[in-house]
Structure 1
């Protein structure tokens, strides 16, 4: 029988993480760690480690001291090719970034993403209406990390206005490198002549028929270089076209690449993700509350939308092992199941959550959930029942 997509362990993550391999019976490292730790709003947080000493430690130091050993433990569980992503708000974003720089290395920071979770902005309190949080993303080793910071969802077909008779869409990109940092001095081997026939569009690296000689130049007529080498031009002549264009010095002949929307039937085009993720793309706090309400009820005030986690999952291999040790309402496990169901992946998620009591008089308590862990397990079980993939709970 295949391993279940979702595994849950109840317990304090500081105690569970060092023993996780023993608990799960699987010592393989994790490819992606995602956590949404308690935000430091000035109130006590549930993880009351013995860190306050003589009581003089301020709230930022206390929060950092709570996070440090957990992030250290997470690093030991992360694959050399893996990545960790942490959601945070303005209260601790600066302190968390410094902590992550220290523990994982500043050179391993892949991004600080702005996530627009409240499009209207929070209208209570003084100052501006805050509409965003952050997502800090670090690699275990950026040189080896398999995270692909791109997505097929951000590709706009309108950017490919041209079409072949058989329906394939493309656009023309200059074969000339438009960045003046690359020129015959800095990239000497990429400055050479090609031959093209503007009547047929054919391009070759050697003279032929009625072809004219073409050298790469910038718009002002100064020498430039090609983006492709001679061997690559010879390998992909059908992806190039020769055209007459009007430049500053009058009409000239230039070479363009046919940049396809889909190069083949199996490889969907991807586009680099920006560092601003809009609620319209990944969901909002409101949509997160609604999707949780649909599956277990209105029992959590500020869950993360599954769309946010699914965008992260889309940057990793489809068989990634995922860990969330501040599992909260179980969004990460839910997102893993939805993504597997959507693309046929075999991702597996381990969720860890403490038995933090639900707030007195809260919707969760009134619904019969004594602890936040009860919400986590209820959601993951409901996900297994409705989406599939199975569920198991392991004793800590």
Structure 2
């Protein structure tokens, strides 16, 4: 890599590649548009000096808090701009952040990626017990900000099969296929015979046999869609679709406000062609994606308790579930190596061919820390040690490329 002007991470042979160096030096050396997905956990603004070599001499603010926020955003801006350059037009970026800089990061990402490319601000419940130190409330959450490179082309599907609950499908056919009943009537009251007249038409159904058809048959009764209060409504399906899928419809007797009446329902199958997916909510709970405690345990099992606040692999795997299984992933603040670990776990689980490029600078670990006692002199050493252990235990290999010195992350 040192002899090439640009490098395409899609050309990596294994699942994981690690580059030790300042991301502001490394990112410009990646081929433009060569990355599909970015997840990263940049240094949070705790009031301490950043480990990057950037120089801030802004004396325009007398308020020390304003100067601190300005220094942080000045550190992040060129790095986000560099991330934007390496993202493919269909790509997306997900950034973890806490309350200290969430508002400033949102404005900065609006500036760099464009407000129109905003995807979501997710609340992540990483500490269910809440932080008990300090004044105020017991904070139990952080955030993930998500932006598309270009929203109309974005490959992110904000849904997943993991959030589908089988308990929501209480019925079963004789051969064991699970389903639920959904009203064929459109329950959204803005859709009426006046707004969508082509979907207001009669169907014929027999509540004894369950049969439904677009034409009258022996034992059937004519049914038109109505709201619960008796006002005219419309169906969700057109006549041709009813004719195509009559076995997915059933006529049933239900009890309404005016007593019993017949109505038509769709059998909505749990397992259907193409797989069932459900839109992700914007609050991700620790029991779904893991917590800081489970993240520490994951890291400890590989290389020891050598990093204070890693992210759980479940958080990154949930993000990976929104994109195809052959994406090129980048983490420019790789920290303990959570992203590369999550990519390897996902590939092993579903046979995917994702590749991950992790970048981390050689920020020295603290004197007297567990990492220093373990012989890990820099945070880059932690990243390398974890990804080496991942390659040995999970598979996928690891390519290590060393550049210049230079800090924390996921």
TM-score normalised by the chain length of structure 1: 0.95
Deviation string, structure 1 residues 298-336 (Cα, Å, up to 9, x no partner)? 110000000100111011101111000000000000000
- 2:324 aligns with 317
Structure 2 counterpart of 1:51, from 53, 56, 60: 56
State the 1:15 CA deviation: 1.2
Structure 2 counterpart of 1:160, from 169, 184, 187: 169
Structure 1 residues without counterparts, runs of 5 or longer: 22-26
State the 1:28 CA deviation: 5.5
Aligned-partner Cα distance in 1 for 2:321–2:381:
28
- 1:72 aligns with 81
Task: Describe the shift of the 1:135–1:174 C-alpha distance in structure 2 as closer, same or farther (beyond 3 A).
Answer: same
Asked if 1:100 is matched to 2:109, the reply is: yes
> Which moved further from structure 2: 40-49 or 125-134?
40-49
Aligned-partner Cα distance in 2 for 1:31–1:206:
50
Aligned-partner Cα distance in 2 for 1:2–1:92:
34
- 2:15 aligns with 5
Stretches (4+) displaced over 3 A: 53-57
Asked if 1:116 is matched to 2:121, the reply is: no
- 1:37 aligns with 42
Structure 1 counterpart of 2:158, from 103, 126, 149: 149
Structure 1 counterpart of 2:138, from 129, 138, 147: 129
Structure 2 residues without counterparts, runs of 5 or longer: 1-10, 404-410
Asked if 1:210 is matched to 2:215, the reply is: no
Aligned-partner Cα distance in 2 for 1:189–1:49:
63
Aligned-partner Cα distance in 2 for 1:333–1:292:
12
TM-score normalised by the chain length of structure 2: 0.92
Aligned-partner Cα distance in 2 for 1:228–1:30:
40
Q: After the TM superposition, which residues 209-248 of structure 1 pair with which residues of structure 2 at under 5 Å, given as runs? A: 209-248=218-257
Aligned-partner Cα distance in 1 for 2:151–2:238:
28
State the 1:153 CA deviation: 1.9
CA RMSD in angstroms, aligned pairs only: 1.5
Task: Describe the shift of the 1:211–1:337 C-alpha distance in structure 2 as closer, same or farther (beyond 3 A).
Answer: same
Structure 2 counterpart of 1:359, from 366, 381, 385: 366
Structure 2 counterpart of 1:188, from 191, 194, 197: 197
